Amino acid sequence: MAVRMRRPFRIRQISALLAGAAVLALSTAGTPALAQAVSPEDMASARTLGIDGVKMADSGDCAGAIPKLAAAEKIFHAPTTMDRLGECEIKVGKIVAGTEHLQRVIREPLAPNAPQAFVTARQRAQDALTPALPRIAHLKIRIDGVTADKVTATVDGAPVSSALFDVGRPTDPGAHEVQASAQGFKTATATVTLADGSESTASLHLDPDPNAAAAAATTGAATGGAASAATGAPAPQAGGQPAAAPAGATTAAPAQTGAPPAAHPPVAAIAMLVVGGVGVGIGTVFGVLAMGAKSTLDGECGSSKKACPKQSDINALNTDALVSDIGFGVGVVGLAIGTVMLVTHKSTETGSTRKGVVPWVGLGSAGLRGTFE
């Protein structure tokens, strides 16, 4: 009873410990310094890249600062680095990427003891994000002539999912080249220029490509001609009918290639013969044991065995006799089925030189004797 009363208490203790561990894990996961395992060498490299990038950004060289800030951020994430990366991306016209980086800085939770630089970076990101968001333009891609799931579309070489067709896709202001293609159709291209905060549609119509149809027809004719040459049949004409053979020409019969399939050993027949041989062997062994036990009991207890006190010996005799009968029964059936299967298999092999399989049975043993190709 004492164990039953303590068990719920222990379960509650374990549950509380697990819950505390989960909360601790979640809280530490939100801290960048603990979420990433960075070697001292990588940390020093990231710091150097970040400092150089910030200096270049302060001097107005955002084009040169972006690669350094992106490399530092890739090694080790810090709000102070991503904030400046987002600012520079917006200044060079990559408004969508820049605003996404700034929003990440704003959304990330900060630990209560976070450095003041991280708090300042969050506020700086918010100040840069507010005027940048209205500048984002939206581009719709509309495709006619082909179903959307068969179209491959790109904007400035970057793939665009067909799920975004006819949807205002956030896009940087400026000129963009939209391209769409599909198998069997001509590629369509359109150039669209987007102003800050504007929305525009690039409509492309895909027309069937006659060259693709001709190429497919030529490929089919060449394939048909090659097949006719291989089989000796006349090549098909344009109407789909085979051309007539020249007068006096004889059509050679297709040559038979390949050797007849090689005969395989009758695995099922061999398996049945093995089962039969084992069954006869078991029946023989237990039959000998049963006859020996019977002879002993007849000498000690008489033929009726009613006065014999060794009932266990009588039970053993009966068991040996039963096992012997079952073994012989299984053996005879297995040998019979295996022999029939073997004979049937050999009768279907014309010109085969394989020898037959013959089971043999001895005292307490059985097996197969034969030769195979």
Strands of 152-155's sheet in order across: 158-160, 152-155, 174-181, 188-194
Ranges 19-23, 190-194, 281-285, 288-292: which has the least confidence? 19-23
Per-residue pLDDT for 102 more than 50?
yes
Q: Which of 30-39, 55-64, 269-278, 342-351 has the highest mean pLDDT?
A: 55-64
Q: Please report the pLDDT score of residue 362 as a whole number.
A: 53
pLDDT of residue 240 exceeding 50, the answer is no
Which pLDDT does position 365 carry in this prediction?
Answer: 52
CA-based Rg of the chain, rounded to a whole angstrom? 44
Using alpha carbons, select from 112, 106, 117 the residue that is nearest to residue 54: 117
Residue 189 clears pLDDT 70, i.e. is over it: yes
Residue 332 above 80 pLDDT? yes
What residues contact 260, with CB distance under 8 A and at least 6 apart? none
Return d(Cα 265, Cα 372) in angstroms, integer: 8
Per-residue confidence band for 6, with pLDDT thresholds at 50, 70 and 90: very low
CATH number of 31-135: 1.25.40
Instruction: Select the more confidently predicted residue: 293 or 332.
Output: 332
The correct answer on CATH 3.40.50.150 for the domain covering 137-205 is no
Mean pLDDT of all residues in the chain? 77
- Quick one: pLDDT band at residue 329, thresholds 50, 70, 90? confident
Where do the domains of the chain lie?
31-135, 137-205, 267-370
What is the C-alpha separation between 357 and 339, in angstroms, rounded?
8
Predicted confidence (pLDDT) per residue in 152-180, tens digit: 999 999 999 999 999 999 999 999 999 99
Arithmetic mean of pLDDT, 259-275: 69
User: Where on the phi/psi map is residue 280: left (φ > 0), alpha (ψ -120 to 50), or beta?
Assistant: alpha
* Contact between residue 280 and residue 328 where contact means Cβ atoms under 8 Å apart: yes
Helix (H) and strand (E) counts in the chain: 10, 9
